[in-house]
């Protein structure tokens, strides 16, 4: 214990930087929890999908047909509220919302959380990040859009 105190006394700037980064980390996590939306990286989304999460693709029909995540359900963002009864059937499983860049999916995840859904995640970076991570994409010809 004396060695730690001696180190802290000799390297006050280093200890101060460590404490500041620790508090920034705690504040960031608390803010993330307060927002009630968890944005997940593509690799974390794969883990959720492997645990039977439902993927809701919020992009246009053309973008969905160009390429989407395997087994994704296509529900355009502007139709989300109108098709809430369809989405509510999925409430027992985790839901991952996907858009092109991650902005719309965050809005949709917020909307679903406000509607009472518990386990909703937005794909951080959207399909752009998914593709950049080299994860598989299928076209509309191989799978049907589940409506």
Per domain, the residue ranges of the chain are 2-34, 37-132
Question: Residue 142 — very low, low, confident or very high, per pLDDT cuts 50/70/90?
Answer: very low
Measured CA to CA, the distance from residue 8 to residue 17 in angstroms comes to: 11
Write out the catalytic residue numbers.
99
| Per-residue pLDDT tens over the stretch 74-109 | 999 999 989 988 898 888 899 999 999 989 998 898
- 69, 105 contact by CB (below 8 A): no
What 3-state DSSP class applies to 137? coil
**DSSP one-letter code for 53:** P
Measured CA to CA, the distance from residue 115 to residue 110 in angstroms comes to: 9
Question: What's the whole-number mean pLDDT along residues 118-144?
Answer: 84
The architecture (CATH level 2) of 37-132 comes to 3-Layer(aba) Sandwich (3.40)
| Per-residue pLDDT tens over the stretch 33-72 | 666 557 889 999 999 999 999 999 999 999 999 999 999 9
């Amino acid at each position: 214990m004396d060695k730690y105190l001696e180190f802290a006394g000799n390297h006050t700037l280093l200890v101060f930087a460590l404490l500041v980064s620790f508090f920034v980390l705690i504040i960031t996590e608390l803010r993330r929890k307060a927002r009630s939306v968890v944005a997940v990286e593509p690799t974390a989304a794969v883990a959720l999908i492997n645990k039977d999460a439902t993927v809701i693709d919020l992009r246009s029909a053309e973008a969905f047909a160009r390429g989407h995540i395997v087994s994704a359900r296509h529900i355009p963002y502007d139709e989300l509220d109108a098709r809430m009864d369809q989405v509510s059937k999925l409430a027992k499983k985790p839901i991952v919302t996907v858009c092109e860049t991650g902005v719309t999916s965050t809005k949709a995840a917020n909307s679903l959380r406000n509607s009472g859904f518990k386990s909703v995640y937005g794909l951080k970076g959207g399909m752009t990040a998914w593709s950049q991570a080299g994860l598989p994409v299928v076209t509309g010809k191989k799978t049907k859009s589940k409506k």
